[in-house]
């Protein structure tokens, strides 16, 4: 079934450790996104990528980095995790057609991360 997969499903991490959240899509979408979801705050954009080889900062990028080496994969790395990064992380992708832009984003199932 086509879609977005995220790994791991959940993780408990000690503060100061490095962690990479994985995201893979098989829809050949150009754009990919990372969000964090916190109670009462909705989803906030961390980083995005319009196409392979390019990335950009979202609303809350500090403490996170991303790379986009190919179309399918968009990993999110926490170089040195802190407790405030405890959250649910969602990866998303969109076709980003030009002209008649669709902008519909398709979401993965999420990764629940706890930093102690």
How far CA 23 is from CA of 36, 83, 88, 102, in Å, comes to 14, 22, 14, 22
**Choice from 14, 40, 62, 99 touching another protein (CB under 8 A):** 40
25 binds another protein (CB under 8 A): no
Among 11, 50, 65, 86, binds another protein (CB under 8 A): 50
Give the start-end residues of each E strand in 1-116.
4-7, 10-13, 19-25, 31-38, 42-49, 56-57, 64-66, 76-78, 87-94, 106-107, 111-115
The span of 17-25, 41-49, 60-68, 74-82 binding another protein (CB under 8 A) equals: 41-49
Judged by CB under 8 A, which stretch of 15-23, 44-52, 68-76, 79-87 contacts another protein? 44-52
At residue 112, the 3 state secondary structure works out as strand
- DSSP letter assigned to residue 30: S
Q: Which of 80, 104, 114, 116 binds another protein (CB under 8 A)?
A: 104
41 belongs to the binding site for another protein (CB under 8 A): yes
Count of residues binding another protein (CB under 8 A)? 28
In this structure, the dihedral spanned by the alpha carbons of residues 23, 79, 63 and 5, taken in order and rounded to 10 degrees, is 10
Interface contacts to another protein, rule CB under 8 A:
4, 31, 33, 35, 40-45, 48, 50, 56, 58, 90, 92, 94, 96, 101-110
């Amino acid at each position: 079934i086509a879609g977005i997969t995220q790994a791991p499903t959940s993780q408990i991490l000690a503060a100061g450790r490095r962690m990479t959240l994985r995201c893979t899509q098989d829809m050949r979408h150009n754009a990919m996104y990372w969000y964090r979801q916190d109670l009462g705050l909705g989803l906030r954009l961390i980083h995005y990528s319009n196409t392979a080889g390019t990335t950009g900062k979202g609303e809350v990028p500090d403490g996170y980095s991303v790379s986009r080496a190919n179309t399918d994969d968009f990993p999110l790395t926490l170089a040195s995790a802190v407790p405030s990064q405890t959250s649910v992380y969602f990866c998303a992708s969109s076709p980003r057609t030009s002209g008649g832009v669709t902008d519909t984003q398709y979401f993965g199932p999420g990764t629940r991360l706890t930093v102690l």
